[in-house]
């Protein structure tokens, strides 16, 4: 199995999530936060009920045939579950959605909704940055990395 993409995408992207999350008792937020190439074909955003178990990989045939989306496993962090869905255009990552993320109070949700789209944008941009690792990691972003890795594994990248 090739695991080539994760290093130049998620490792960088994941670690840069700078949430001011405190280790309090967190619930699991739901909803879709999207990021990515605005011009890329994007599946309709849907809410994922927080209580659902991690959904299996889903392939969404899209216009053009080469685009598909894969949902990663929910990765548990000490702040809650993080789960991403990746839309691939051929072998290129066109879009990364964070479909589950830790949230507790309003402030955390605001921070998440601000930071996570940037995170996805970094993941895409970082494909051309060729970075092997990042110093300065976070727990939640590690969850993002793991969920993204599992999505890419399922996609066979």
Partner 1 sequence: MAAGPSAQRATLRHAEHVMGTVFSFTVRDPTAATGPALRRIVQRLHRIDEVFSTYRPTSDISRLGRGELTLAQCDPDVAEVLESCREVAIETDGWFTDHPGGRLDPSGWVKGWAVEEASRHLRAAGSTWHSVGGGGDVQTCGGPWRIGIADPARPGGLAAVVTGHDLAVATSGVAERGAHILDPHTDRPVTGMLSVTLIGRCLARTDAWTTAAFAMGSARALDWAEQLPGTEALAVLEDGTRCWTSGFPQHLAPAPPAATGPAQWSLPGTG
121 binds partner 1 (CB under 8 A): yes
- 39: which DSSP letter? T
Structure-token pair, residue 121: 């944008």
* CB-nearer residue toward partner 1: 54 or 60: 54
Work out the number of other CB atoms within 10 angstroms of the CB of residue 5: 22
- Residue 24 or 106: the one with the smaller Cβ distance to partner 1 is 24
The binding track of 62-101 with respect to partner 1, each residue x by CB under 8 A or -, is ----------------x-----------------------
Strand, helix or coil at 145?
helix
Give DSSP secondary structure letters for 81-92: EEEEEEEEETTE
For residue 150, the minimal CB distance to partner 1 (Å) is 9
Query: Please, what is the minimum distance in Å from the beta carbon of residue 53 to partner 1?
Result: 19
Residue with the two structure tokens 């993002």: 144
Q: Is 154 in the site for partner 1 (CB under 8 A)?
A: no
Q: Look at residue 11 and give its three-state secondary structure.
A: helix
Which residues make Cβ contacts (< 8 Å) with residue 62, sequence separation at least 6?
Answer: 41, 43, 68, 69, 87
Q: How many residues bind partner 1 (CB under 8 A)?
A: 41
Which of positions 11-30 make contact with partner 1 (CB under 8 A)? 11-12, 15-18, 20, 22-23
Q: Which is nearer to partner 1, 3 or 91 (CB)?
A: 3
What is the C-alpha separation between 13 and 88, in angstroms, rounded?
A: 17
Interface positions with partner 1 (CB under 8 A): 1-4, 6-7, 11-12, 15-18, 20, 22-23, 78, 114-115, 118-119, 121-122, 124-126, 128-139, 142, 145-146, 149
């Amino acid at each position: 199995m090739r695991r080539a993409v994760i290093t130049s995408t998620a490792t960088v992207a994941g670690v840069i999530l700078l949430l001011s999350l405190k280790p309090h008792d967190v619930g699991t937020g739901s909803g879709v936060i999207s990021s990515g190439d605005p011009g890329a074909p994007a599946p309709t955003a849907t809410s994922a009920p927080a209580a659902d178990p991690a959904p299996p990989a889903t392939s969404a045939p899209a216009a053009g045939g080469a685009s598909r989306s894969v949902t990663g496993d929910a990765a548990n962090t000490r702040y809650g579950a993080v789960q991403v869905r990746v839309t691939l255009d051929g072998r290129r990552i066109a879009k990364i959605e964070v479909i589950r993320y830790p949230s507790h109070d309003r402030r955390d949700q605001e921070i998440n909704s601000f930071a996570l789209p940037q995170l996805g944008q970094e993941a895409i941009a970082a494909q051309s940055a060729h970075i092997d690792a990042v110093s300065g990691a976070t727990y939640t972003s590690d969850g993002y990395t793991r969920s993204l890795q599992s999505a890419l594994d399922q996609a066979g990248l």
